[in-house]
Amino acid sequence: MQQKFLLVLKPGLSLSPSLLRDKSFVCKGSESVSWVDENVPKILKPYVNLGRAHIEMAIWLHAWPTFWSLMLATKPGTLPDFTLFGMFYLMGYLVHVSCCASNDLLDVEYDRKVERCKTRPLVTGEITLAQGWLFWASVIALLVPLVLRLNKLSIALAAVEQVLWLAYPLMKRITYWPQAFLGLVHNWGATLGWAAVKGNLNDVSIFLPVHIAGICWTLVYDTIAAQMDKEDDVKAGVKSTALLFGDSVRTWLLGFASICIGNLMFAGYNAHMGWPFYISMIPAFGHLLWQIYSVDLSNGADCLTKFLSNKWFGAIVMAGMLLGRIVY
Q: What's the CA gap between 37 and 198, in Å, rounded?
A: 43
pLDDT in tens, 292-302: 999 999 887 89
What confidence score (pLDDT) does residue 315 get? 96
Which residues make Cβ contacts (< 8 Å) with residue 247, sequence separation at least 6? none
113 pLDDT above the threshold of 90: no
Q: What's the CA gap between 41 and 35, in Å, rounded?
A: 11
- Mean of the pLDDT values across residues 283-304? 93
Give phi and psi for 78, each to the nearest 5.
Answer: -125, 160
Instruction: Please tell me the number of Cα atoms within 13 Å of 5 on its side-chain side.
Output: 13
Closest CA to 185 of 203, 169, 173: 169
Paired with 161 in beta bridges are none
Which of 35-44, 136-145, 205-214, 298-307 shows the lowest per-residue confidence on average (mean pLDDT)?
A: 35-44
Q: Is 28 helix (H, G, I), strand (E, B) or coil?
A: strand
User: In 10 A of CB 75, how many CB atoms?
Assistant: 11
17 pLDDT above the threshold of 50: no
80 pLDDT above the threshold of 90: no
Report the helix count and the strand count for the chain, using DSSP H and E: 17, 2
Confidence of residue 34 (pLDDT cuts 50, 70, 90): low
pLDDT, averaged across the chain: 86
Domains and CATH numbers, the chain: 6-326 (1.10.357.140)
pLDDT in tens, 228-252: 778 777 877 889 999 999 999 999 9
Q: What percent of the chain has pLDDT over 90?
A: 65
- Mean of the pLDDT values across residues 170-184? 94
29 pLDDT above the threshold of 60: no
Q: What's the CA gap between 30 and 40, in Å, rounded?
A: 17
Closest CA to 283 of 319, 322, 250: 319
- Mean of the pLDDT values across residues 85-104? 93
Question: CA 282, 288, 291, 292 torsion: positive or negative?
Answer: negative
Question: CA 37, 41, 47, 52 torsion: positive or negative?
Answer: negative
Whether residue 59 contacts residue 89, with contact meaning beta carbons closer than 8 Å, is answered with yes
State the pTM of this model: 0.86
